[in-house]
């Protein structure tokens, strides 16, 4: 299972504000009052939650960073005017390094995510260095343009923040946005795949966990053999480590 964690649910206030909150069991001391000191029992992400997400009963988000500070996927977020051009350039890097990647248009339709799934969990720091190396390689090829629409990586932290879960990302294929052509997987021409369910079929294999040690990522940047030293460049752009969804 690619999403192995607790989950969060999107909420909308009467004043128009929106956000996500972790799903947990509320314990009540009386019919009208919740116990203030009761420990929270967080709900895990289940098949039923995914069904409810797909059918519009709720909108779910997940926390990529797990308690053992590993992750099962890497997502790269783009959300400014040049998001399509920048994502296309990053996908070229993925193709160059033979890394399977999925392209998703965001809920708003004004940005998108590149998803890379692993066949085994990876240390979050290593996955993020893979993302940083991809961005570095992309900027090397088009340094005159840059990657202005790049926003952040998910997971957004190498280690679990004290008292928190790390940044969350909303799951794709949200019901209402999907009906508008958003929150869907796209082809390399930025058109929705005609069959969203078949897109993640077995022939779209997850990137092997060994990818980080065997593909152009290692050949071009040499992070693995040099002890995973810090890369200067895209990680410096990854400034927004606040809690919240994209």
Q: Is the pLDDT of residue 244 over 50?
A: no
Please, which pLDDT band fits residue 98 given cuts at 50, 70 and 90? confident
Residue 108 DSSP label: S
In this prediction, residue 173 carries a pLDDT of 93
What is the arithmetic mean of pLDDT over 203-208? 54
Average pLDDT, the chain: 79
Stronger pLDDT, 197 or 87, i.e. the higher one: 87
Q: Is the pLDDT of residue 142 over 90?
A: no
Of 57, 66, 127, 131, the closest CA to residue 94 belongs to 131
Q: Is the pLDDT of residue 48 over 80?
A: yes
In this prediction, residue 5 carries a pLDDT of 75
Q: In this predicted structure, which of 129-138, 187-196, 236-245 has the lowest mean pLDDT?
A: 236-245
- Upper half-sphere CA count for residue 71 (Cβ side, 13 Å): 32
Q: Is the pLDDT of residue 34 over 60?
A: no
Q: In this predicted structure, which of 63-67, 82-86, 194-198 has the lowest mean pLDDT?
A: 194-198
Tell me the percentage of the chain whose pLDDT exceeds 70: 72
Residues whose CB falls within 8 Å of the CB of residue 8, separated by 6 or more in sequence, listed in order = 20, 21, 22, 23, 60, 61, 62, 63, 168, 245
The Cα 82–Cα 89 span in angstroms is 11
For 73, 83, 104, 169, 186, the CA distances from 80, given in Å and listed in that order, are 23, 5, 15, 17, 18
What is the arithmetic mean of pLDDT over 72-76? 94
In this prediction, residue 102 carries a pLDDT of 92
- 119-133 confidence digits (pLDDT tens): 888 999 999 999 999
């Amino acid at each position: 299972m690619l999403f192995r964690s607790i989950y969060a649910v999107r909420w909308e206030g009467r004043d128009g504000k929106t956000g996500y909150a972790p799903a947990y069991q509320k314990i009540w001391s009386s019919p009208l009052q919740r116990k203030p000191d009761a420990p929270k029992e967080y709900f895990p992400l289940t098949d039923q939650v995914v069904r409810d997400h797909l059918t519009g009963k709720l909108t779910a988000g997940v926390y990529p960073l797990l308690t053992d500070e590993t992750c099962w996927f890497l997502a790269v977020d783009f959300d400014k005017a040049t998001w399509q051009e920048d994502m296309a350039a990053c996908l070229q890097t993925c193709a160059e390094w033979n890394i399977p990647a999925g392209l998703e248009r965001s809920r708003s339709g004004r940005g998108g995510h590149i998803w890379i799934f692993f066949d085994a969990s990876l240390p979050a720091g290593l996955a993020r260095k893979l993302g940083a190396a991809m961005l570095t390689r992309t900027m090397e090829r088009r340094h005159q343009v840059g990657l202005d629409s790049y926003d952040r990586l998910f997971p957004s932290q190498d280690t679990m923040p004290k008292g928190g879960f790390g940044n969350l990302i909303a799951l794709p294929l949200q019901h209402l946005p999907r009906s508008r052509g958003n929150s869907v997987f796209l082809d390399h021409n930025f058109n929705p795949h005609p069959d969203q369910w078949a897109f993640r079929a077995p022939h779209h294999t997850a990137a092997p966990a060994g990818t980080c040690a065997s593909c152009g990522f290692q050949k071009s940047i040499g992070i693995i053999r040099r002890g995973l030293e810090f890369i200067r460049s895209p990680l410096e752009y990854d400034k927004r480590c606040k809690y919240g969804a994209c």
